[in-house]
Amino acid sequence: MLRWMFFDNHKFTSYCATYRFLNVLAPQAPDPGALKFLRSRADAAYAILDKHLASHEFAAGSRLTIADLSLAGYVFFPPEELGFDIKETYPHIEAWRERIKAMPGWAGPYELMPGKRFMAQR
């Protein structure tokens, strides 16, 4: 579990979160070279998890664990914020997302965060 949580912190969420911030929240238009770099790093990390989930229901076994919750932090944001569509690009991550959504008490990020959705005005 700890390995997946470290992977999430250093590879999976870190690049995706920064990419999303620059695309959605940064007040000025992002540098295209920086976006290209971050997207390539995010794609590499997503490919690793997608490959793993091809033969595993969850990150660290056959049931939901804290490792899945760590990894899932950004995968439920809409494609226009992420800058890519998980459903179309990473089928095993998409199936994993559906398994997580099926858990009792699950709610999407915008159901959990009250208030108006913020998008940078450029």
Catalogue all structural domains in the chain, each as residue range(s) with its CATH number. Answer: 2-107 (1.20.1050.10)
Q: Give the SS3 label for residue 58.
A: strand
Q: pLDDT per position in the chain (122 positions), as tens?
A: 999 999 999 999 999 999 999 988 899 999 999 999 999 999 999 999 999 999 999 999 899 999 999 999 999 998 988 888 999 999 999 999 999 999 999 999 989 887 777 777 77
Nearest to 103 by CA among 57, 60, 45: 57
The pLDDT of residue 107 is 94
Q: What is the pTM of this model?
A: 0.91
The pLDDT of residue 102 is 97
Question: How many of the other CB atoms lie within 10 Å of CB of 96?
Answer: 25
